[in-house]
Amino acid sequence: MTITTTPTTAEPPVVVPAPGPPHRSVVIRGREYPVVLPKLGDVRLRLTAVIIGLQFLGQTVLRFKISIAQILVTMLICGVIEFYLTMRREHMIVWPASAFQTGASVGFILRASGTRHGDLWSLRGIHFFVIAAVVSMASKYLVRPNGKRHLFNPSNAGMVAVLLVVGPAYVFSEHLWWGPAGWRVGLAVALILFGGWWILRPVRMVPMGVAFLVTFGALIGVLSVLGRSFYATWRPEAVTGGSYFVNIALSPEVWAYVFFMMSDPQTAPKSRQGRIVYGVLTAFLTAALVYPQHTEFAIKVAILASLTTACAMVPFIEGWTHRRQRRRLDMAVDGTDTVSRGLLAGARRPAILAAAIIAIAAPIDTAALSADKSIVLIERDLPGPGVAPGGALHNPHRQ
């Protein structure tokens, strides 16, 4: 028996797309808004978690003079501003992870004079925290010279503005000295070091942090040898010699500033070489602003203000590293400075003018603090001119 078969045309395989994440959206007044929630691997969540951990230590064993209410209000203000602007501009509902990070950073460093450790729900000086939050978010969304990327670290810009404008009688930043050497400070330092590695490694910012710390440590060592000193509320006599070096270069506050503020990938250069240059340059700017200062308040403002100026120089650093890379690859270079050309072309734009004013005013106003003798009286808890001995102090409860 013969069996005849009829050939058939093979059907193309059916490709079934892999299932993606479920689409989330909400409808508000007839408009659909996609909802974007945070991812567990987001580095911003890691940073916020580390800062919250340090705040927990500050509230329990390190005696930080900051209340939970001050922290929460600052984070809420930042979060609401970013939530609203993102929803209005991009028509999306996005979890404001960056804004919460900004608010947490402000709450980690900024202090209102008169706030006592243990006043968990105190709203003392809350208006200063609100101002810092608003200025921080304004610098993020209004000062964008290229129209896309913000130039300044938001929390840094907000705190520098408040510290310089409001002044040491009402606000200050967390002390350089966190307490005597022991398990409490050791635990905080361990968390800072682990958090720095945990956060900086994924964004490849470790070389930048090392470049800053090594350069800054060497420069502060030179200043200590030259006999520089400063007054602080936590020590009756001037801080000088080896203590000068230890309490600045090895301060947990400085390490936290480097690992958790200066390392912002959005405001730092993108290339590895550019980030190393950025770290070294910021260290030199910081040491130059620290050199003339005689008070802890002014030194801490100098550390913060140097980053404000360094951020403004990032476009020039990136332009320089880009030209070096092109020459290394034997690519043709027409000699035109595209960064300068772009800045000149947009010199009339308000964002560029604002950036220039901020970058210049921050170090000038910081340098002027060295001539303000009233800050020495404030740091030493001494009455000002014309106040009788035993009269009201400048900074009650700063100790």
pLDDT digits (tens, 9 = 90+) for 352-395: 888 889 999 999 999 999 999 999 988 887 765 544 455 444 45
Which of 33-42, 244-253, 297-306, 322-331 has the weakest average pLDDT?
A: 322-331
Buried b (16+ CB within 10 A) or exposed e, 86-119: beeeeeebbbbbbbbbbbbbbbbbbbbbebeeeb
Query: Which pLDDT value is given to residue 324?
Result: 78
Query: Which pLDDT value is given to residue 3?
Result: 44
More confident residue, 10 or 169: 169
- Tell me what the pLDDT averaged over the chain comes to: 86
Task: Give the rounded percent of residues in the chain with a pLDDT score beyond 70.
Answer: 84
Query: Which whole-number Å values give the CA distances from 313 to 162, 210, 263, 268, in the listed order?
Result: 22, 20, 15, 10
Q: What is the pLDDT of residues 124-160, one digit of tens each?
A: 999 999 999 999 999 999 998 877 789 999 999 999 9
Q: What is the pLDDT of residues 47-58, one digit of tens each?
A: 989 999 999 999
For residue 188, what pLDDT band results from cuts at 50, 70 and 90? very high
Q: 70 in a domain, yes or no?
A: yes
More confident residue, 159 or 25: 159
pLDDT, mean of residues 25-34 = 85
pLDDT, mean of residues 79-89 = 94
Task: Give the rounded percent of residues in the chain with a pLDDT score beyond 90.
Answer: 68
CA torsion sign for 232, 233, 237, 239 is negative
Q: Rounded to an integer, what is the distance from CA 111 to the centroid of its chain?
A: 15
Query: Which pLDDT value is given to residue 30?
Result: 82
Q: 223 in a domain, yes or no?
A: yes
Query: Which pLDDT value is given to residue 31?
Result: 85
Query: Which pLDDT value is given to residue 341?
Result: 55
More confident residue, 350 or 231: 231
**pLDDT of 180 higher than 50:** yes
312 token code pair = 């403004």
> Of the candidates 245, 237, 282, which has an alpha carbon nearest to the alpha carbon of residue 376?
237
314 token code pair = 């990032």
Phi-psi region of 305 (alpha: psi -120 to 50; beta: other; left: phi over 0): alpha
Q: What is the pLDDT of residues 272-283, one digit of tens each?
A: 999 999 999 999
Distance CA(110)–CA(113), nearest Å, equals 10
Task: Report whether 170 contacts 128 (CB < 8 A).
Answer: yes
Query: Which pLDDT value is given to residue 385?
Result: 54
Residue 9 exposed, middle or buried by CB count within 10 Å (0-12, 13-18, 19+): exposed
Q: 385 in a domain, yes or no?
A: no
Tally of residues, the chain: 399
User: Which structural domain, as residue segments, surrounds residue 110?
Assistant: 27-379
Q: What is the pLDDT of residues 192-230, one digit of tens each?
A: 999 999 999 999 999 999 999 999 999 999 999 999 999
Q: 54 in a domain, yes or no?
A: yes
Q: 188 in a domain, yes or no?
A: yes
pLDDT, mean of residues 113-133 = 95
What is the domain count for the chain?
1
Q: What is the pLDDT of residues 315-331, one digit of tens each?
A: 999 988 888 777 766 65
**pLDDT of 122 higher than 50:** yes
Q: The tokens 């970058």 sit on which residue?
A: 359
Q: 21 in a domain, yes or no?
A: no
For residue 38, what pLDDT band results from cuts at 50, 70 and 90? confident
Q: 113 in a domain, yes or no?
A: yes
Question: Identity (one letter) of the amino acid at 50?
Answer: V
More confident residue, 13 or 261: 261
Q: 14 in a domain, yes or no?
A: no
- How big is the chain by its Cα radius of gyration, in Å? 25
pTM over 0.75: yes
Query: Which whole-number Å values give the CA distances from 323 to 4, 313, 331, 336, 343, in the listed order?
Result: 74, 16, 9, 10, 17
For residue 2, what pLDDT band results from cuts at 50, 70 and 90? very low
